[in-house]
Amino acid sequence: MTDLGGRHVWIDGRIEPAHVPHISAFDRGFQLGDGVFETLRARGGRPTELPEHLARLRRSATGLDIDLGPSLERDIEAGIAALLAAEGLAGPTGDASVRITASRGAFAGRGLLPPEQPRPTVVIQAWPVPPTPRDHLERGLHLAVSAVRRDPASPLAALKTTSRADYVYARLEARRAGADDALFLTTDGRLSEATSANIFLVRGQELATPALDCAILPGTTRSWILGWAGAAGLAPVESSLAASDLAAADEAFLCSSVAGILPVTRFEGAPIGAGVPGPWTLRARAAREAFIAAPAG
Ligand SMILES: Cc1ncc(COP(=O)(O)O)c(C=O)c1O
């Protein structure tokens, strides 16, 4: 483990030093991936779109029948503030990625079925956001298709659960292929999303993204971009897209809360559009970063 000296975590209402053990070996999050999580950005101590992230955390937990209790939202808001302060990330120049993880909790017994009265474990962690690698902005990301397919009929498709083995597998696949990230297709052959981001294509004056029935996580950044597009002069379209649509797009980009908007310039080894980050992508990125930096963000 890297040096955690001086770092902290928030766990079940307490700020603890990061280097001491926190979680029971019996925790179902560790044993089974029986949990949910959120990742968000906090600039100047202000968590961006916190209500949206908390609502998605609740939806994911409800989808797994995990009751996170009535005070979760209040506790997490206070917990983020306390943790950012402890980490020295609450000041005007603070720029943090914040992860909230909630598992069903520890259970001494065995088996898949949860105990009658689980006591969820809730953890908040924070990291300083490193500068975006210059390569990612100037050269853009290269994507390769994953062998893992996502199933739009799965009741888990839109939940942000801690069962992330598929995503880890896909990231390793991408690295072996010399790509920066993997792109999932659905079981019926449509574009879905990347391993931790949604995807958008610019096609003329249209800004297209896979619809919610394409086994995607309904991204908070994706929603923001769909709202931004109209005012910026692009027609937002949510639809079924094919890999060939990505290959033929003028521009493409990925989006997520922490990394923001990143250009995609190659897909399966071939350039997208001019093969360089496109003007709409850079405009969208600048608008999103300004939104995150604004006091109302
Ligand atoms: C699989 C996946 N899709 C999309 C996203 C983007 O979601 P958001 O914009 O809410 O960060 C994420 C974020 O972590 C993700 O893990």
Average pLDDT of span 181-209: 98
Using alpha carbons, list the distances in angstroms from residue 104 to 11, 25, 34, 71, 238: 14, 13, 6, 16, 34
Ligand 1 atom nearest residue 53's Cα:
10
Q: What is the mean pLDDT of residues 163-175?
A: 98
Is the predicted pLDDT of residue 169 greater than 70, yes or no?
yes
Q: What pLDDT, on the 0 to 100 scale, is given for residue 6?
A: 75
The protein residue whose alpha carbon is closest to atom 2 in ligand 1 is: 196
Please tell me the residue having the least CA distance from ligand 1 atom 5.
Answer: 197
Any atom of ligand 1 within 6 Å of the Cβ of 146: no
Q: Is pLDDT of 138 > 70?
A: yes
In the predicted structure, residue 7 carries a pLDDT above the cut 90:
yes
Cβ of 125 less than 6 Å from ligand 1: no
Tokens of 183: 């792109």
pLDDT tens figures, 30-88: 999 999 999 999 999 999 999 999 999 999 999 999 999 999 999 999 999 999 999 99
Residue nearest to atom 14 of ligand 1 (CA): 196
To the nearest whole percent, how much of the chain has pLDDT over 90? Answer: 95
CATH topology of domain 8-128: D-amino Acid Aminotransferase; Chain A, domain 1 (3.30.470)
154: Cβ–Cβ under 8 A, 6 or more apart, which residues?
215
pTM of the model: 0.96
Pocket flag, ligand 1, residue 48 (CB < 6 Å): no
Which residues are CB-neighbours of 188 under 8 A, at least 6 positions away?
152
Check whether 4 has a pLDDT greater than 90: no
Residue whose CA is at the smallest distance from ligand 1 atom 3: 197
Q: What is the mean pLDDT of residues 221-233?
A: 97
Residue 120 neighbours by CB under 8 Å, 6+ apart: 61, 66, 67, 68, 69, 102, 103, 104, 105
Which whole number is the average pLDDT over 9-27? Answer: 96
Instruction: State pLDDT tens for residues 236-269.
Output: 999 999 999 999 999 999 999 999 999 999 999 9
Q: Which residues pair with 16 in a beta bridge?
A: 9
Residues 6 or more apart from 133 whose CB is under 8 A from it? Answer: none
Is a pLDDT exceeding 90 seen at residue 5?
no
Asked whether residue 296 carries a pLDDT value surpassing 80, the answer given is no
| CA-proximal residue: ligand 1, atom 7 (nearest) | 219
Q: CA–CA separation, 242 vs 199, rounded Å?
A: 12
Q: Which of 257, 258, 261, 264 to mutate to test the pocket of ligand 1 (most atoms within 8 A of CB)?
A: 257
Mean pLDDT of 285-292: 97
The response to whether residue 221 sits with its C-beta less than 6 Å from ligand 1 reads: yes
In this model, does residue 1 exceed pLDDT 70?
no
Q: Is the CB of 57 under 6 A from ligand 1?
A: no
Residue 199: count other Cβ atoms within 10 Å of its Cβ: 27
Pocket perturbation via mutation, ligand 1, pick of 129, 167, 198 by most ligand atoms within 8 A of CB = 198
Does any ligand 1 atom lie closer than 6 A to the CB of residue 39? Answer: yes
CATH number for 134-293: choose from 3.30.70.260, 3.20.10.10, 2.30.29.30, 3.20.20.70: 3.20.10.10
Domain boundaries, the chain: 8-128, 134-293
**Average pLDDT taken over every residue of the chain:** 96
Q: For a pLDDT cut of 70, what percent of the chain falls above it?
A: 98
What pLDDT does residue 297 have? 42
Band of pLDDT at residue 2, cut at 50, 70 and 90 = low
